[in-house]
Amino acid sequence: MKRNDWILIAVILLIGAGWLGIRTIADSGKASEVIVTVDGVEYGRYSLSKDQIIDINGTNTLRVENGKVRMVSADCANQLCVNQGAISKSGETIVCLPNKVVARVTGSEDADFDSMTN
């Protein structure tokens, strides 16, 4: 192998190590629980590691499954919270405005940044 080949290999390894470092930082905000509030008052905290169905005052139902949270039913007219889909990353929320229900995913440590783009 020539000198330029070794330089190319070193550059590729450095790029790979940098990418791995960025992914590690991004994964540091891994979610661990969902906090549910109703009308600004904490209703409960639920682990994302345990599959469960959470009834919220008979108006909304959350499902925790495979580390993700989704609103499966709500008695509001527009059903926006149900149609939003599942959330799993720290800082993501599901909001049901008519019922004043907020489900916010948090991690063991919330990330220091709002988002990351690829």
pLDDT digits (tens, 9 = 90+) for 47-94: 998 999 999 999 999 999 999 999 999 999 999 999 998 998 888 999
pLDDT tens for each residue of 9-33:
999 998 988 887 777 666 555 568 9
Specify if 5 maps to a domain: no
Cβ atoms < 10 Å from Cβ of 2: 7
- CATH number at 39 reads 2.60.320.10
Q: What are phi and psi of 31, to 5 degrees?
A: -75, 145
Specify if 67 maps to a domain: yes
Specify if 90 maps to a domain: yes
Total domain count, the chain: 1
Average pLDDT over residues 37-53: 94
Specify if 15 maps to a domain: no
* Res 74: pLDDT: 95
For the record, the structure tokens of 42 come out as 């904490």
Specify if 112 maps to a domain: no
* Res 110: pLDDT: 46
Q: 52, 49, 53, 62: which is closest to 102 by C-alpha?
A: 62
Residues 99, 43: contact at Cβ < 8 Å? no
Specify if 42 maps to a domain: yes
In which band, very low, low, confident or very high, does the pLDDT at 35 lie, cut at 50, 70 and 90? very high
Specify if 114 maps to a domain: no
* Res 32: pLDDT: 87
- The residue segments making up the domain with residue 75 are 31-107
Specify if 8 maps to a domain: no
